Structure 1
Amino acid sequence: MLAMLSVRACHPYELHRLIVDTHKDYVTGLPRSLYHAVERLAGEELIIPVATSREGRRPERTVYEITDEGRRELSTRLRALLENPTPDRRAFAAAVSLVGTLPVPDALRALRTRAAAIEGLLAGMNAHLRVMKDSGLPDVLMIEVDYERMLNEAELSWVRAVIARLDSGELGWSDTTRHDLLSQVLDEP
């Protein structure tokens, strides 16, 4: 929500529509959890209400915008998700989907940190697999470690490719986090 509000002030229903329309499938428990999250973020002063309106007999809608503290918190949280590999890859997928809210140099640093962390994980896994193989343990008993190793290798390859695209200028987003892009999604019937 902080990332979406960093683009444009909107009310929780608009946020819900944006999440659904852009297929942010990692967001679960909608829409009730969305309203609880908005309340929590407002309580932490990461977002603030800026307007309230009512259309006909519909309930009042409060429009929120992100605060400077909210932007700092978004940047901190997003960099942590990008930098730190975890067994739950959904968090990384979520972070990647929001990477455009970071300045490109920050995204590059975070992705380079992740690549180094994955390289360390792979070195440890490869050493573990060699020791187990040398001990005479049948491969089938370590097949899940091999599976995780392959997933990490694929992720490392992808992260390196994204870093190369960012370094070359092929991939960038200086003008993509714009109000008009969000409006296109929200204003479609």
Structure 2
Amino acid sequence: MPNFKRSPLALAVLALLIEAPMHPYRMQQLLKSRGKEEVINIRQRGSLYQTIERLEREGLIAPGSVEKSEGRPERTVYEATPLGRTVAVDWLRTMLAEPHNEFPEFPVAMSFLPLLSPEEVMPLLETRLTALRKREFELAAELENYLTVLPRVVLLESQYMLAIVSAERNWIEGVIADLRSGRLAWSIEELKTIAAQFEGEQPPRPG
């Protein structure tokens, strides 16, 4: 089987079309109403249409009927091909089994933290902590409400997100505590000295 380019949005499109044939606008509506924008970047409509065009070129989806409504533009209804169904299941199995580095921004910022002083970093982390606590509360409240009416399997992504947010909140609380106590501190001069010692060498990695 060819190595098709996998992406969260491509999997979402295939999953929706396996559920039922539909046009792109309907896909966008369902992704939003089901809260998928929390885990998939669908803010730009162009990204959805580009993904649909690529999946069609690759033979994973195919156009079917055309919906016509008075006062509205024609809308092409797509459906998943047999190959698309196979690829979607293969992608899902891979994404579940194999950890993938998604390169989020926050670890990048932490890797260049010494560009700022500890005094500058602490209020920034406190601002992030406030946002994380708010998000944690919102996710927990949503889950509590939905668990009474929906099966857990459709809420697993929200439970995972809550676990991730809670873990980050807990970790940042520890970093802030260490900054306050002075257990975590640095200076550019000290770091330059350390860097010079390892110039031309690979510095030791933690663990």
TM-score, scaled relative to structure 2? 0.45
Larger RCO (alpha carbons 8 Å, 6+ apart): 1
**Which has more radius of gyration?**
2
